[in-house]
Structure 1
C-alpha cells in the first residue's frame, strides 16, 4: 500500500542519510519536545521552515509526505475540530446551537493542526532516511545504560527491527486478501457502519493466520541458526558518532532556545 510509510526506507546519499541513527532518533525526540513550546504563529513558521529545509537536504520527493498525511487525515481532522469546538474562552465568533467558535479556540486549533503536521513530517524524515535495522540498533544502543536496572535493551531492539521489517509485508498481505475477497464478490464499502465492520472479518482471520504462521517460521529459523540473545554477540553494523551528529544536536538545542524565547 503506497500510503504506508512506516518501515519504508528511501535510499540516498544525503547528509541525513549518512548521519548516525542515534543522533536522528535523539533529534526527533528533541523536536517533538520543542513542538509543545510552539504556541504562536512565529514559532510554528520557524519550525515549518526547519521541516522544509530538512526535506530539501534529504532530497526526498514530497509525494512520500503526502502519502504519510493520507493515513493521518481522520486523526488530525478530529483532533483539530474537537479543539476548535471544545474551547469556550475568548471572544465569541460564531455559534450554532451549543457549538461555539471563539478566537482563542481558533488559535488553539491552528496550533494543534500545525503540531500534528510537523510531527508527521519529522517522523517521516526519520523513517525515510534510516533503515529499520539501523533504527533498531540505535534504540538498543540508547537503552544499553538501562541494562543496570534490568531493561532488556537487545530484546526491545530485536522486536522493533522485526516489527518495522514486517509492517510492509503485513500491509501487502492485507491488500492481497482484500483483492481475493473482492474477487469473491465482497464489497467493503456497502451497508451501514456495522455491516462495514463485519465485512472486514474475512480479512482479519486469514491475516492473523498468515501472521502467526510467519512468526512461527521466523522463530524456527532463528533457533536453527543458533540464536541465543544479545550476550556475547558481535555486530556487523557498527554505529559511529561523527562531528555532523554533534553539530546537528547542538543546532536543535539552539532552535529549541529560540522557540522558547519566542513562545507566548
Structure 2
C-alpha cells in the first residue's frame, strides 16, 4: 500500500501535458477540483469523465499507474459510500438490522465515490506530469502579485515543493523500515485495530528520526549554498507562455462554461 500512493511522484514522459506551463496545470487542477464539486447530474459527470480520460491519454501516463493511487484511500471511499447509503433519508431499498439503505443514499454515495476518485486522480495527474522545481516556479510566478501585500510567495512555494518532494522519499524510507522490521519478526497484519496501531510504533519512531535528519541535511545544504530567499534570485529556465498554453486556457474556459451551464439547467 505504501507504493500505491502516487501524489508527489513524477512520471517522466514526453507528452503535451508534460510540456505545458506549470501555471496552466496549477490553474487547470484548481478548476477541475471546483468542477468536481459543482456537478450533480449525469451529463455533467460524463463531461468531467471525458475531460479526465482525455487528459490521461494526452499525458501518456499508464492508466494502471494512475488508478494505483486509489488503493491507498480505498477504506475512506468505502466508508464514505456506506455512510451515504445508510444515513441519507429517502425511499428504502433494503435493510440490514437497524440500518436502512435508501435510494437517495445510493445516488449520493455513488456521487461521493466518484468525486473522491476524481480528486485523487486529478491531483495525481498534476504531480505526475510536473517536477517539483516546475511547481515551485509556477506557484511563485502565478502568485507573484501577492508580494505587493507582503505575502512570502517564494517561501510558501518552496515549502510546498519540498513537501511534495519528500512524500516519495519518506514512503520509500517507510517501506524500507517496514521490511527491516518484518525481517526481525515484526507482524503488521494480524491482530485487532488497536494491536495494529501499536505495531506501527516501531515504524513511526525511526521514520520521524529519518525525516528530521533529512530536513536538517537539507537546511545545511541550503545554507552552504547561501540560500536566503527569493529576493533578487533569477531563474535558470524562465517561464514563457507558448501557443499550446493559450490553447489550454481556452479549453479550460469552454469546459468551465459547460459545467456552469449544466449546473444551472439540470
Q: What TM-score do the two structures reach when normalised by structure 2?
A: 0.93
Instruction: Specify the alignment match of 2:175 in structure 1.
Output: 175
Secondary structure (helix, strand or coil) at the match of 1:65 reads: helix
Instruction: Specify the alignment match of 1:47 in structure 2.
Output: 48
Instruction: Specify the alignment match of 1:79 in structure 2.
Output: 80
Would the aligned equivalents of 1:143 and 1:153 in 2 still touch at CA under 8 Å? yes
1:141 and 1:256 map into 2 onto residues whose CA distance is 23
Which residues of 2 match residues 106-117 of structure 1 at below 5 A?
106-117=106-117
1:74 and 1:150 map into 2 onto residues whose CA distance is 42
Deviation of 1:160 (Å):
1.3
Instruction: Specify the alignment match of 2:128 in structure 1.
Output: 128
Deviation of 1:102 (Å):
2.1
Moved more, 98-107 or 148-157: 98-107
Deviations 1:102-125 (A, max 9, x none): 222221111111111211222122
1:233 and 1:260 map into 2 onto residues whose CA distance is 41
Would the aligned equivalents of 1:40 and 1:111 in 2 still touch at CA under 8 Å? no
Matched positions, count: 263
Secondary structure (helix, strand or coil) at the match of 1:239 reads: coil
Deviation of 1:92 (Å):
2.1
Deviation of 1:142 (Å):
2.1
Would the aligned equivalents of 2:3 and 2:171 in 1 still touch at CA under 8 Å? no
Deviation of 1:96 (Å):
3.2
Deviations 1:76-131 (A, max 9, x none): 11112212222103x22223343222222221111111111211222122111111
Which residues of 2 match residues 212-223 of structure 1 at below 5 A?
212-223=212-223
Secondary structure (helix, strand or coil) at the match of 1:210 reads: helix
Deviation of 1:4 (Å):
2.3
2:37 and 2:246 map into 1 onto residues whose CA distance is 23
2:218 and 2:80 map into 1 onto residues whose CA distance is 39
1:161 and 1:70 map into 2 onto residues whose CA distance is 24
Instruction: Specify the alignment match of 2:13 in structure 1.
Output: 12
Instruction: Specify the alignment match of 2:157 in structure 1.
Output: 157
Once superposed, which parts of structure 1, at least 4 consecutive aligned residues long, lie more than 4 Å away? none
Moved more, 221-230 or 96-105: 96-105
Instruction: Specify the alignment match of 1:25 in structure 2.
Output: 26
1:50 and 1:203 map into 2 onto residues whose CA distance is 40
Unaligned runs of 5+ in 1: none
Which residues of 2 match residues 184-195 of structure 1 at below 5 A?
184-195=184-195
Would the aligned equivalents of 2:8 and 2:124 in 1 still touch at CA under 8 Å? no
Instruction: Specify the alignment match of 2:94 in structure 1.
Output: 94
Instruction: Specify the alignment match of 2:234 in structure 1.
Output: 234
Q: What TM-score do the two structures reach when normalised by structure 1?
A: 0.94
Deviation of 1:69 (Å):
0.9
Secondary structure (helix, strand or coil) at the match of 1:232 reads: coil
Instruction: Name the Cα RMSD after superposition.
Output: 1.5
Deviation of 1:19 (Å):
0.5
Instruction: Specify the alignment match of 1:104 in structure 2.
Output: 104
Would the aligned equivalents of 2:93 and 2:102 in 1 still touch at CA under 8 Å? yes
2:74 and 2:158 map into 1 onto residues whose CA distance is 31
Secondary structure (helix, strand or coil) at the match of 1:240 reads: coil
Deviation of 1:41 (Å):
1.4
2:248 and 2:117 map into 1 onto residues whose CA distance is 22
